[in-house]
Copies of this chain bind each other. A is one copy, B any other.
Amino acid sequence: MTEFMDVHRGMKGITGQQLQEAHKADLAIEGEERVHFKQAWADPDTGTVYCLSEAPSADAVQRIHERTGHPADEIHPVPLTV
């Protein structure tokens, strides 16, 4: 398992509730791809959302995000952390 940071753009004006709901939708099906979404951070002004996950591959992360209606614009493996 590797950690991934994915980035969504174009989510201007996202609210705390919308972020919660999007995260909940991901959590509901993430197990089917052996993904786990750990945390997410949103900047509503620029519409940027960062999601930190643990997953077998970037494709697995994207399949979950696609099925819940919010495909990521970038997905980076982040094997180094501090």
Contacts and interface: CB of A to CB of B under 8 A. Distances in A.
For chain A, which range describes its interface: under 10, 10 to 19, 20 to 34, or 35 or more residues?
20 to 34
A5 B43 contact: yes
Contacts of A42: 78-81
Number of copies: 2
Contacts of A5: 41, 43, 50
Interface string A13-56: 01110011001000000000000000111111110101010000
A82 interface: yes
A79 B44 contact: yes
A82 B40 contact: yes
B80 A19 contact: yes
A12 to B, nearest CB: 12
